[in-house]
Amino acid sequence: MTDSNSKCVLSIDLGSSGPKISIVNENGDILATRSGMFKNIYVDGGDGVEQDAEEWWTQILRLSKEVIEESGTAKRIVAIGNCAQYFSSIPVDKDGNAVHNCIMWEDSRASKHIIKAMGGFPSIMGYNIFKLLRWLYSVGIPPILLGVDASSHMLLLKNEMPNVWEKTYKVLEPSDFINLKLTGKFQTNENNGFSYTMIRKAPWGKGTYNKKLVKYLGLDIDKYPDIFPVGENLGSPKNEVIEYLGLSQNVSVFSGMQDTTACMLGGGAFDDLDTVIEIGTTLNTGVVVPKRIIDILNGIYSVSSPVPNKYILVGEPGAGAKSLNYLLNNLLRVDDSLSRINDDSEEHHAKIADEMAALSPVGSNGVIFLPWIFGSTFPEADTNMRGGFINLRPDNTRNDMIRAIFESYALNFKWVLETKNKNLKGKIAKVNFTGGGAMWETAPQIVADALQIPVHLMDEPRQANTKGIAFMCFNNLGLVTYDEMKSKLKVKKVFHPQKENFAFYDKQLVIFKQLFKKMRPIFASLNQ
């Protein structure tokens, strides 16, 4: 089949900073792509972070039309799929309209409500131990005391926005909101629905809500959407969507997934022990496992994969490119090459940072970067944790500081995978590297040295999410299997670990862990 005849998927990647819309064909090629930008709305002194969900939909429709027209694929598109940022909540009415802005994952206003509901003596990690055990036994993960999960957001709406709560028919995750706009169906699945912290542990595709736990928090089960299997065919788009985009009538819309899950699929993680790491806005790691694994004490959890009977063991060590952007924009942008780069060209931006990091030796001439500028999520969630540079001396350069950030990525990945390995029945042979950070060459070599396994730099790493969405749609339509798609994935370059650096990164991880432990009470005191 020639590319001009190949079937295509309209892939929608709804990120926190904006949407990315791509046309992906059966070979995994990107035929056209467009990106947009969203703005955060800060309320309540910055504790509240919201976005206009209806603006999401407006941009998605416009950008979708543009990529369809550019690629000339309107009648070749057989499916629409999406992924999205998660732990963000949109209250909608019966007509499918948002009755309030989306409460974003950065919003901390619900924290006080969930702490009150889940706390009490005797406690562990801030939870009353008996309440914690209820959730661990049934669901596997409790509501998050940072107040970022959907059930915590519901408590915020109920307690602080009663008028909105009264109008609310369902509370949806971003991916499910987009599918509501596409199809008119109020639904979620075990992957997106993980954010509700209310779906019982069950065999793949059989999850149901624990109504007793919902009632225990004083919430209404009717405001939770129906649960569909991950990757379920939801049928055709609404007629107005088909007409606006110029699509044929036989297009299928598929139930969506979290963006980290899409990245894992786009990076080729289909079979047991397949491993993908991503440097995006945040750092992400995923390992495919045959059963559900949760290690709450070490910040490790698993979500249902769109691949039947598979799960993705997830660890999110924290800030990724956000750390580098912080350094560049707040500390290093003076009148030189960094200040004169074209900000519209992120590849050029990354290329200069990579070249500068390469000029610093292993160990960054003693500089260590603490990456928790925005708080920590691993090994424990702590909004008081902060970042910074340790061990600066007079002869340190900006090259050292940039490399120290790259080394912090590698140490975080090493820490997470070290923790995951305790739960795995096998050895990870390699990792596939995706995300914006995979445009660099210094970073993947550092990661390979730290992990002591080969790192495969994937082709078109910034499109891993949109490709992952397409892979699921093609597989579920019976057009291209996951195994066939895996064989089509292209590797740009392989970075082999350099044995002479192993001992250094082993020692550095010990120091890195000590810094987290010893700095934590200091940051807690400073940020009370």
**What's the pLDDT at 278?**
87
Residue 278, strand partner residues: 284, 434
Q: How far is the C-alpha of 248 from the C-alpha of 241, rounded, in Å?
A: 11
Domain count across the chain: 2
Q: How far is the C-alpha of 25 from the C-alpha of 5, rounded, in Å?
A: 10
CB 136 within 8 A of CB 52: no
Are both 137 and 16 inside the same structural domain? yes
Which residue, 210, 234, 255, sits at the end of a domain? Answer: 255
Q: How far is the C-alpha of 387 from the C-alpha of 405, rounded, in Å?
A: 11
Are both 36 and 140 inside the same structural domain? yes
Q: How far is the C-alpha of 428 from the C-alpha of 433, rounded, in Å?
A: 14
Are both 242 and 354 inside the same structural domain? no
Are both 45 and 162 inside the same structural domain? yes
Residue 188, strand partner residues: 227
301 domain-assigned: no
Q: How far is the C-alpha of 203 from the C-alpha of 200, rounded, in Å?
A: 10
**What's the pLDDT at 1?**
46
438 domain-assigned: no
Q: How far is the C-alpha of 265 from the C-alpha of 287, rounded, in Å?
A: 11
Q: How far is the C-alpha of 441 from the C-alpha of 357, rounded, in Å?
A: 10
CATH number at residue 22: 3.30.420.40
Q: How far is the C-alpha of 93 from the C-alpha of 191, rounded, in Å?
A: 23
- Identify which of 34, 206, 14, 203 has the alpha carbon closest to the alpha carbon of residue 105: 14
442 domain-assigned: no
Residues 402, 432, 343, CA angle at the centre, nearest 5°?
Answer: 40
Which residue, 234, 255, 276, sits at the end of a domain? Answer: 255
194 domain-assigned: yes
Are both 18 and 117 inside the same structural domain? yes
pLDDT tens for the 528 residues of the chain, in order:
446 789 999 999 999 989 999 999 999 999 999 999 999 999 988 889 999 999 999 999 999 999 999 999 999 999 999 999 999 999 999 999 999 999 999 899 999 999 999 999 999 988 999 999 999 999 999 999 989 999 999 999 999 999 999 999 999 999 999 999 999 999 999 999 999 999 999 999 999 999 999 999 999 999 999 999 999 999 999 999 999 999 999 999 999 999 999 999 999 999 999 999 887 777 788 999 999 888 777 777 899 999 999 999 987 776 667 677 767 666 665 554 555 555 545 556 677 888 899 999 999 999 999 999 878 888 887 888 999 999 988 888 889 999 999 999 999 999 999 988 888 888 899 999 998 777 788 999 999 999 999 999 999 998 999 999 999 999 999 999 999 999 989 999 999 999 999 999 999 999 999 999 999 999 999 987
Are both 241 and 328 inside the same structural domain? no
206-214: long-range pairs with CB below 8 Å, 24+: 207/304, 210/138, 210/139, 213/134, 213/135, 213/138, 213/139, 214/151
Are both 249 and 344 inside the same structural domain? no
188 domain-assigned: yes
Structural domain including 22 reads 8-255
Helix axes 174-183, 53-71, angle to 10 degrees: 60
Are both 332 and 200 inside the same structural domain? no
- Identify which of 447, 336, 456, 345 has the alpha carbon closest to the alpha carbon of residue 399: 336
Q: Is the dihedral of CA 46, 35, 444, 275 positive or negative?
A: positive
Residue 416 in tokens: 């997470």
Q: What type of residue is 37? A: M
Q: Which residues contact 256 (CB under 8 A, 6 or more apart)?
A: 81, 82, 83, 84, 175, 176, 178, 179, 189, 192, 469
40 domain-assigned: yes
Are both 33 and 158 inside the same structural domain? yes
Alpha helix positions (H), 184-238: 211-216
Which residue, 255, 282, 302, sits at the end of a domain? Answer: 255
Could you tell me where the beta strands, DSSP code E, fall in 28-122? 30-35, 41-43, 48-51, 77-84, 90-92, 102-103
CA gyration radius, the chain: 22
The alpha carbon torsion through 304, 307, 313, 319 (nearest 10 deg) reads -90
Indicate the SS3 state at residue 54.
helix
478 domain-assigned: no
**What's the pLDDT at 380?**
83
- 424 burial (CB, 10 Å; 0-12 / 13-18 / 19+) is middle
Are both 222 and 332 inside the same structural domain? no
- Identify which of 202, 220, 227, 206 has the alpha carbon closest to the alpha carbon of residue 155: 220
DSSP string over 287-319: EEESS---BGGGTBEEEE-SSTT-EEEEEEEEE
Q: Is 167 left (phi over 0), alpha (psi -120 to 50) or beta?
A: alpha
Note the Cα 72 to chain centre separation in Å.
31
- Identify which of 306, 263, 305, 311 has the alpha carbon closest to the alpha carbon of residue 284: 263
65 domain-assigned: yes
Are both 249 and 324 inside the same structural domain? no
Are both 122 and 211 inside the same structural domain? yes
